[in-house]
Amino acid sequence: MEKEPALQEENNCYHGGESVRELGERFEWISHPVKAINADVLDAWFSPAPQTVELLRSHVELIARTSPPAQSKGLVEAISQCRSIPESTIAVGAGSSDLIFRTFLHWLTTDSHVLLIEPAYGEYAYVLEHVIGCRVDRLELKRAHNYQLQLERYQQEMERNYDLVVSVNPNNPTGSFTSQIQWRKLLMVTPKTTRVWIDECYIDYVDNDQSMESCVSEFPNLAIVKSQSKILGLSGLRVGYLVASSDEIKLLRQRTPPWMVGMAGQVAAISAMEQTRYYREKYEVTNEQRLHTEAQLCLLGLDVIPGIANFFMFFLHRDGPTAKAFVTACQKHGLYLRDLYPTSPCLGRYAVRMAIKDEATNIDILKIIGHVLKTFT
């Protein structure tokens, strides 16, 4: 029997990284572990809160065979209580990418004019340019400004009458962060007819009190997307939410199919949001590990851009290997890092992103990087 051709991914956004392909997509690695360090993806290194794990484990049969609440009302209520924002301003989804697709397809057309602040999560350029076909301008964050969004430059761009501005904060992949105070200044010079979309999927590693979600009532053109998958150790369950004006959320809900978040995702997210102390401790450990790993890579001679979340970026020297060559060499030792050129070409061919893992794994990563660097000298 002739083998069917593999599913084509050329027209899709680059997701998961090479480690996903190495592990395989039929989950044999669950029962037969593969030794690979997946520092190319930004899943949390820590497990969900123990209480959440026990809840899922104790009731897995019931959860697996029970249809979830169709509109995730309990999850919306839990987010509202946890973040002190009105339920009417919250829409949930199967992770942030689901919300990006659904909202942008509702908001935008081929006639829409969008400002994409780059570097950015690769999903945005893909959806805007290849799925919808918008006209996209790019505002590139500069290293000379520590990859910070400059008010004067932004204000000049606002003269172009955009339909939408898209920003990732904390920025993925640079790790830079724009404070709430600065964002208020930026929003004050943004036309009220221009929607502003801020991706805050990693803000918990910084300070959730810096989130702009509480400002939606003040700025009706503002929308905030957040991922509970990433910050609660629930990437496999796909849970995220959008905060926007009540009018925007009402229209989005009308265009949302039932059961967007599965039973396990709803149960786990509601439980995990109650375990604030556990997660706060994990974020603190993550920051400590990131600072230590950054310092060690500096000692190896790499040009490290300090991060603020569970990842950071570094540049290889231009007289050495490109990011592609370096990442490929690391893979031979079971370490997977992200060559940033395919999704962020503005950073050039020498930029690499690394996710923070637990202490023992970070030590192994440093050993492999040190060894690989020596092979290129």
pLDDT digits (tens, 9 = 90+) for 124-161: 999 999 999 999 999 999 999 999 999 999 999 999 99
pLDDT for the residue numbered 21: 65
CA 75 to chain centre: 21
Burial track 84-111 (b if 16+ CB lie within 10 A, e otherwise): ebeeebbbbbbbbbbbbbbbbeebbeee
Query: pTM for the whole thing?
Result: 0.92
Amino acid letter for position 280: R
Q: Is the bond preceding residue 170 a cis peptide, omega within 30 degrees?
A: yes
Residues 176 and 146 sit within 8 Å (Cβ to Cβ): yes
As a whole number of angstroms, the distance between CA 377 and CA 366 comes to 17
Q: Cα–Cα–Cα angle for 316, 321, 325, nearest 5°?
A: 110
The 8-class DSSP code of residue 240 comes to E
As a whole number of angstroms, the distance between CA 208 and CA 212 comes to 9
Sign of torsion, CA 210 216 218 220?
positive
pLDDT for the residue numbered 5: 42
Where do the domains of the chain lie?
Answer: 18-47+277-375, 50-272
Looking at 3.30.70.120, 3.30.70.890, 3.90.1150.10, 3.80.30.20, the CATH number of the domain 18-47+277-375 comes to 3.90.1150.10
Q: Do the bridges between strand 351-355 and strand 311-315 make them parallel or antiparallel, or are there none, so unpaired?
A: antiparallel
What residue ranges of the chain have pLDDT lower than 50?
A: 1-10
Tokens describing residue 109: 């057309």
Question: Phi and psi for 158 in degrees, rounded to 5?
Answer: -65, -10
pLDDT for the residue numbered 377: 84
Alpha helices in 119-162 (DSSP H): 122-125, 151-157
Residues 352 and 337 sit within 8 Å (Cβ to Cβ): yes
Question: Phi and psi for 293 in degrees, rounded to 5?
Answer: -65, -40
The two domains 18-47+277-375 and 50-272 share their CATH topology (first three levels equal): no
pLDDT in tens, 221-277: 999 999 998 899 999 999 999 999 999 999 999 988 899 999 999 999 999 999 999
Residues 241 and 271 sit within 8 Å (Cβ to Cβ): no
CATH tag, 50-272: 3.40.640.10
Q: Is 196 helix (H, G, I), strand (E, B) or coil?
A: strand
